[in-house]
Amino acid sequence: MDKPLWQRDAVELAALTRAGMVSCREVVEAHVARMEAVNPALNAVVLSLADEALERADELDRARAAGEALGPLHGVPVTTKVNTDQIGAPTDNGVVAFKDVLAPADNPCIANLKGAGAIPIGRTNTPAFSMRWHTANALHGETLNPWHPGHTPGGSSGGAASSVAAGIAPIGQGNDIAGSVRYPAYCCGLVGVRPTFGRVPAFNPSAPGPRPISAQLMAVQGPLTRSVRDARAALAVLAKGSVEDARWVDEPLTGPPLPKPTRVALVTNPAGRGVNPEIITAVSQAGQWLEQAGFAVEPIEPPELGEVADLWAKIAMDDVIAALEGPVAEQGDEGIKAAVGYWRQGFPPIGPQGVLDALMERDRLGRLWQLFLEDYPLIVMPSSGEPAFPNNLDIEGFEAYQRLWTAQLPQLVLPVLGLPGVAVPTGLHNGLPVGVQIVSRRYREDWCLDAAEIIEARAQLPLPIDPRSADA
């Protein structure tokens, strides 16, 4: 074959294994070898599942030989995140105190991947309690970005993003409550899908109690991939229903095509709060590419975008963050303690009535955005207001925290409204990936991916890559 198996995407690998052109064992061996070669420089995978993966590959090879039905991701290596239950593996969430919390069963999203023939080969890193936009913790250490070791791979799915960008696996499982799929995808030059609320089922059997309300409303599971077609394939698998999650909605993955002409709202500086020039260039470039493809691109901002983003803190700080403060103080590392402290400094408690008022505002603004999306079925805006931050910027002081929070404003809008979004790269700036996120109506991830495919074809980011040094 003209290129190594670890350089191929999931769709191609599944076609090869299903046709018997290569065995699942050969595919897994190639990716395990790649993991052993590059992971020491990245610390993306913090638990190798190589032995189990090879056993599963042999089982799948025997299944094919016996003529059994094969899944759509037959023999495709994937990575899974350490905050998501995978039977027999620790769900440590990057916390020393949780290192021996073994999952009694698979989270539905992991079960869906396995059921489709995917093979988990490693568990990926996350910040402690999965609540930073940088991936480092006292249990597993720091994960590095393969494009530049001095800049964050993002968080909280930073290990997933780093592993996929470097060729360890073509699909990384992640989750997103405030950008934890889309931001790492942006930092590492990947496609990251935040599905519509209710699209992908999730539940951790190891959880000691019920999910906080804001997590119930805003947290979703999604894939990180190197191509749009892999994102489609992974989303289709992840979206299979499960009785374990009452939030799951049985909606088709594809619907009527985009209306013609397709009006696209182009947002270069969300809420006027400041975006770096290179990000404005990236968004404008994406708009030009869509225009060349026949879309009607207009510079217009959805209603009260800044107010929508501000609701994230009003809903979550008195809920998720308040619930975290005790455990973080007792079991957290210095990084998460500093981060949560800055979050609380920036957003003091507003009390139960304040949270209820925010939820009422959410309903009002959700209606306004739905009306806007009737006229503009696609929105293109920054993934972040700056390129990937220097490592640990989020804990370097309150001023740095405020800078980061402002830049991440576009990440916060979608969780509040439950809308789908796809992060897609547009190119490189000073050696770091930059890109946009594409937003559409609820359950129209397919429209987001259609537009992302156009941008991807023109950007042509070289992936996977070998980990680069600070001098590269």
23 annotated active-site: no
**Alpha helix stretches (DSSP H) within 66-123:** 108-115
Helix (H, G, I), strand (E, B) or coil at 314: helix
Please identify which of the residues 23, 130, 156, 384 carries the catalytic annotation: 156
Catalytic residue among 23, 81, 114, 314: 81
Give the tokens for residue 1: 């074959």
Active site residue 81: yes
**Burial of 462 from C-beta contacts in 10 A (0-12 / 13-18 / 19+):** exposed
180 included as an active-site residue:
yes
- Could you identify the residue written with the tokens 């997103």? 176
The single residue of 163, 180, 227, 440 carrying the catalytic annotation is 180
Instruction: Sheet with 119-124: list strands edge to edge.
Output: 45-48, 119-124, 77-81, 171-176, 220-225, 191-194, 421-429, 432-440, 378-382, 263-266, 296-299
* Burial environment of residue 302 by CB neighbours within 10 A (0 to 12, 13 to 18, 19 or more): buried
CA-based torsion, 460, 465, 467, 470: positive or negative: negative
Number of residues assigned to the chain: 472
β-bridge partners, 192: 224, 423
Token duo for residue 54 = 């090879």
What is the DSSP track for 217-279?
HH-EEEEEESSHHHHHHHHHHHT---TT-TT-----S--SPPPSS-EEEE-SSGGGS---HHH
Strands 171-176 and 77-81: parallel
Task: Indicate which residues carry an active-site annotation.
Answer: 81, 156, 180
